Amino acid sequence: KKFSPLVVSRARTLIVGQSSYVHILFAPLYSMGLFHATKKRMAVSWGVTLGVAAIVAGVKRLPYPWRNIVDAGVVVGLTWGTVSILWNFVKAMTTGKSPSDPALPEKK
């Protein structure tokens, strides 16, 4: 509900020639809100990223068939997430509006 619109909204803020080269070089991390975001957004994004890494480490230790069952669930989840991001992207391109607040830090 929140992640896919966030990724699309933040990706739409990247403009070659205007955006920082660091933001463009690390666009996937930027779009996920891992840097140059509000403190809350960065805390949530890093928390989810580290949580997923911990779950991956645990799942690697599961025996057959449980690991395969989890892997199948991951495939379904990643497919659903990809479709959601594409849907939000198409919607943003056709309406000209970002699907959510990009959670950028306040300008000083």
Q: How much of the chain exceeds pLDDT 90, in percent?
A: 95
Per-residue pLDDT tens for 2-53? 999 999 999 999 999 999 999 999 999 999 999 999 999 999 999 999 999 9
DSSP the chain: --HHHHHHHHHTT--TTTS-HHHHHTHHHHHTTSSSS-HHHHHHHHHHHHHHHHHHHHHTTPPTTHHHHHHHHHHHHHHHHHHHHHHHHHHHHHHSS-SS---PPPP-
The rounded mean pLDDT for the chain is 95
pLDDT at res. 107: 82
pLDDT exceeds 80 at position 68? yes
